[in-house]
């Protein structure tokens, strides 16, 4: 079997700082578990603009299309705010998502027991929570035509169009069923089939795709009821699949059930490549955090958990992903905290690399 390839794009601000800790984790898996990755590194965002005058060089884009997975840190920063829209750091990220056609956005909401007190919900509602929201990312109301602000008679009207083709629903649904097969074989599809035709089609297509996955228990829920259920008892869910708009709202709400931005990973997946692996980009949800960049204060866990997602969803190494997640849990249980996770009095925060040290030590203990 060929060595799996990984393109690392640290980006700007705290991106390189948190990615340095991921590199140590990748090296650990190579040294201690014999898992070799063919790792290359390149520039994205402001860092790429500084060197190439563009936030994503064509060569980098070509590399991203070839590798088994891309791991991105974060892009952006005040230095680049003055740039023309066409070369802003975020354009590099958007180009990657668009040209790789990453139509399924995976946002886990996972609550480490040691951080359950950070949630705005009661501890027993969130402790041990581990759900995954799959949001359709490249179609729906954010892209549908007609759109715009028009004048009708003597007033203006704002229009956006929710539009989904059967094939767009089919591919994201398949992705969600595949994920459900790798997890607990339980999938809930959310739309508003009671008031939207696109929701009726969504429900029909998801149900049809479900015939190919008889082992997965499929349920349907109206998205507004789903929002209530997520707050009332989120542990009833395992994988949720939904459209772009509802997914935007539900994944943000679900993610915040679990606490700090420094803890949230994500994945964006596309169609399977020739080797059967999906096109994939993994990245923390947070941005480049210019307010703490260069100070060793960033929490590297979101980025390390993004690598855990790559192990599970690109490389079929679910056991190793679980090992890494357990190591992070063990570190948090011991009370090791970066500054963003401080709640208890008298706890001294560790630095970004201090958190990396603790995670590597916990990985050693897992052997």
* Residue 19: CB minimum distance to ligand NAD, A: 11
Site for ligand NAD in 16-35 (CB under 6 A): 18
* 105 contacts ligand NAD (rule: CB under 6 A): no
- Binding to ligand NAD by CB under 6 A, coded x per residue (else -) over 322-361, reads ------------------x---------------------
Applying CB under 6 A, the span of 29-37, 75-83, 117-125, 146-154 interacting with ligand NAD comes to: 75-83
**Total number of residues that touch ligand NAD (CB under 6 A):** 22
CA–CA separation, 247 and 238 (whole Å): 15
| Residue number, 14 or 134, with CB nearest to ligand NAD | 14
Binding to ligand NAD in span 213-272, by CB under 6 A: 261-262
Active site residue 142: yes
Among 144, 290, 296, 318, binds ligand NAD (CB under 6 A): 290
304 near ligand NAD, rule: CB under 6 A: no
The residue annotated as part of the active site, out of 27, 50, 224, 291, is 224
C-alpha–C-alpha distance, residues 103 and 5, integer Å: 21
Residue of the chain from 247, 278, 287, 356 that contacts ligand NAD (CB under 6 A)? 287
On the 0-12 / 13-18 / 19+ scale of CB atoms within 10 A, 229 is middle
Residues contributing to the site for ligand NAD (CB under 6 A)? 14, 18, 74-77, 90, 93, 261-262, 283, 286-292, 298-299, 302, 340
* Active-site annotation, residues: 142, 192, 224, 248, 252
């Amino acid at each position: 079997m060929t060595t799996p390839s990984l393109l690392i794009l640290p980006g700007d601000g705290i991106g390189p700082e948190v990615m340095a800790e991921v590199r140590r984790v990748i090296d650990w898996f190579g040294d201690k578990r014999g898992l070799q990755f063919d790792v290359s590194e390149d520039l994205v965002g402001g860092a790429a603009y500084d060197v190439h005058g563009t936030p994503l060089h064509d060569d980098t884009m070509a590399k991203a299309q070839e590798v088994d997975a891309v791991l991105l840190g974060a892009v952006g920063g005040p230095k680049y705010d003055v740039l023309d829209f066409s070369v802003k750091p975020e354009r590099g990220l958007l180009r990657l998502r668009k040209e790789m056609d990453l139509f399924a956005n995976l946002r886990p909401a996972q609550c480490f027991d040691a951080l359950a007190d950070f949630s705005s919900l009661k501890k027993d509602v969130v402790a041990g929570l581990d759900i995954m929201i799959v949001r359709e990312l490249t179609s729906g109301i954010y892209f549908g035509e007609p759109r715009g602000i028009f004048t009708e008679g003597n007033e203006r009207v704002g229009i956006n169009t929710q539009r989904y083709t059967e094939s767009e629903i089919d591919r994201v649904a398949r992705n969600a069923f595949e994920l459900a097969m790798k997890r607990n074989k339980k999938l809930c599809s959310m739309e508003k089939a009671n008031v939207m035709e696109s929701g009726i089609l969504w429900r029909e297509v998801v149900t049809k795709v479900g015939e190919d996955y008889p082992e997965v228990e499929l349920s349907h829920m109206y998205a507004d009821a789903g929002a209530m259920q997520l707050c009332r008892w989120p542990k009833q869910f395992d994988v949720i699949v939904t459209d772009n708009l509802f997914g935007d709202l539900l994944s943000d709400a679900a993610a915040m059930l679990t606490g700090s931005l420094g803890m949230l990973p994500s994945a964006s997946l596309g169609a399977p490549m020739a080797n059967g692996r999906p096109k994939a980009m993994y990245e923390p949800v947070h941005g480049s955090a210019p307010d703490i960049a260069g100070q060793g204060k960033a929490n590297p866990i979101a980025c390390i958990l993004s690598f855990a997602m790559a192990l599970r969803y690109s490389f079929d190494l679910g056991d190793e992903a679980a090992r890494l997640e357990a190591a992070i849990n063990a570190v948090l249980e011991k009370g090791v905290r970066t500054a963003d996770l401080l709640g208890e009095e008298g706890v001294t925060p560790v630095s970004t690399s201090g958190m990396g040290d603790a995670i590597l030590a916990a990985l050693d203990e897992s052997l």
